[in-house]
Amino acid sequence: MFFTDLRSALVGQNALLLGTLFNPTNSDYSRSFAYSSNAAQINEVVRRELGSLRSAGFTNNGKEIMIETVVAFWNVVYELERSGVTTHREHDEGYWPKVYAAQRTVMGLVCRGFNTGGWANWMLPMLYSTCRYLREFAMAADDEDSKAENASSLEDAARHLNKGFTLCLSDRAPLPESRKWGTYYMANILFKTYFKLNSITLSKNVLKALEALGKDLPPIEQFPKSHIVTFKYYVGVINFLEEHYKAAEENLLTALQLCKSTASSRNHQLILTYLIPAHLITTHQVPSSDLFRNYPRLRTLFGPITAAIRSGNLQAFEAALEQNEDEYVKRRIYLTLERSRDIVLRNLFRKVFLISNKSTRIPVEDFRKAMGFSLAGKNGGLRKEIEAEEVECLLAGMIYKGLMKGYISRDYGKVVLSGTSAFPGTGV
């Protein structure tokens, strides 16, 4: 069955089917394929089954590499199946490292097939499948091996994936036949891997490579949407972590808009996890509660903190920040969200201004009291006394950042606010 479908995929140039076939965990094929032969005979079997490949447009070398690849792939499937069936224990020791090593052989052969075997670019999904499982097996191997101090398999995988990326990016064939069409898929899988390895710097290297050679790439709109969405998401997150919030927002927004509305809301939530804080920094706007309606996870993550920001409640803000600290830090948004304390303060001071009937001369003392109440919180905690100098310092910060318009007259102990727009962008 495997060979029948493989032949028909190769002859009929069925890219989708080819990709599916090289998924070693695909239960439609794996069991029967694994037990269709044994280590001694598999070479001969594959050679016989794929004997007619030259008629499908393969060069002799290309055919030879394909045979080797399928043999190597059988090894992976066999390794996977064998332990799963023969033992009732979890897995033998060294199970995943063995599977990973086998998959790495497949990876090497697939790269060679494209590089020297003249494999056509419609076969790229075969590369995709191979890379995908290379990464997964590497992670499984690392999990199993976590106690040993071996070099990480995932790091090793990253190097092989990078070869796959270069294989696509630097192909010089004319566009219709070019492997350049695989560039973004490969970039994405690299990003994914580097993020897992906690190495943002390496991700930036991918972006640099794209920048250097990217002018020859087809316009990004012509790539499959799924490639674009993931790519834009990662570029957005990288910019976010580099504190380039404007660029982050643009990329994340594109990703969100391209992301099918019927798609799982998981992707939306992932994108919004970074888009919401980025938007908060660039525009000082918090999301409306409507946004959370379909995303319960986002509601727990951002609901309390955005409510605190909106109402200028310092105590609630601190509480929300503290409550979700672990999750925020894990997603690397803590330091960004923390910066929105400015907005809480702005909203609080704005309230003082409104309560004073928009008087343009407000005693520093009034702001001090307001902060005391806000820090105590709604539930009547102890009102905290803030030093007047600290309030002045925070006011100075507001003015410096353009969140308030006016100046402090220290001799009179007053803040003199602009008559036309004391709090720019908030309607007053």
Whole-angstrom Cα distance, residue 96 to residue 93? 8
CB nearer to another protein: give 140 or 241: 241
CB nearer to another protein: give 21 or 391: 391
CB nearer to another protein: give 224 or 397: 397
CB nearer to another protein: give 114 or 328: 328
Rounded to 10 degrees, the C-alpha dihedral 216/221/227/230 comes to: 110
Q: What does the block give as tokens for 191?
A: 């990003």
392 binds another protein (CB under 8 A): yes
Compute the half-sphere exposure of residue 78: CA atoms within 13 Å on the CB side of its CA: 15
197 binds another protein (CB under 8 A): no
What percent helix, strand, coil does the chain show, rounded to 5?
Answer: 70, 5, 25
- Contacts with another protein: how many residues (CB under 8 A)? 31
Identify the residue among 66, 394, 403, 417 touching another protein (CB under 8 A): 394
The 3 state secondary structure assigned to 310-356 is HHCCHHHHHHHHHHCHHHHHHCCCHHHHHCCHHHHHHHHHHHHHHHC
Identify the residue among 389, 412, 418, 428 touching another protein (CB under 8 A): 389
CA angle 137, 38, 10 (to 5 degrees): 70
Identify the residue among 397, 413, 419, 425 touching another protein (CB under 8 A): 397
Beta carbons of 130 and 22 less than 8 angstroms apart: yes
Identify the residue among 247, 291, 307, 408 touching another protein (CB under 8 A): 408
Identify the residue among 3, 195, 295, 334 touching another protein (CB under 8 A): 334
64 binds another protein (CB under 8 A): no
Taking the CA atoms of the chain, what radius of gyration do you get in angstroms? 29
What is the enclosing helix (H) or strand (E) of 415?
Answer: strand 414-417
CB nearer to another protein: give 5 or 155: 155
Altogether, the residues listed in the chain come to a count of: 428
Binding mask 239-258 for another protein (x = CB under 8 A): --x-x---------------
Whole-angstrom Cα distance, residue 98 to residue 377? 58
CB of 238 to another protein, least distance (A): 11
CB of 397 to another protein, least distance (A): 4
198 binds another protein (CB under 8 A): yes
387 binds another protein (CB under 8 A): yes
CB nearer to another protein: give 177 or 243: 243
112 binds another protein (CB under 8 A): no
What is the enclosing helix (H) or strand (E) of 416?
Answer: strand 414-417
CA angle 135, 236, 196 (to 5 degrees): 25
372 binds another protein (CB under 8 A): no
State residue 204 phi and psi, 5-degree precision. -65, -30
CB nearer to another protein: give 85 or 335: 335
CB of 140 to another protein, least distance (A): 24
175 binds another protein (CB under 8 A): no
195 binds another protein (CB under 8 A): no
Rounded to 10 degrees, the C-alpha dihedral 17/21/23/24 comes to: 170
Q: Residues 6 or more apart from 341 whose CB is under 8 A from it?
A: 314, 317
330 binds another protein (CB under 8 A): yes
- State the residues that interact with another protein by CB under 8 A: 198, 200, 241, 243, 326, 329-330, 332, 334-335, 338-339, 341-342, 345, 387, 389-390, 392-397, 399-401, 407-410
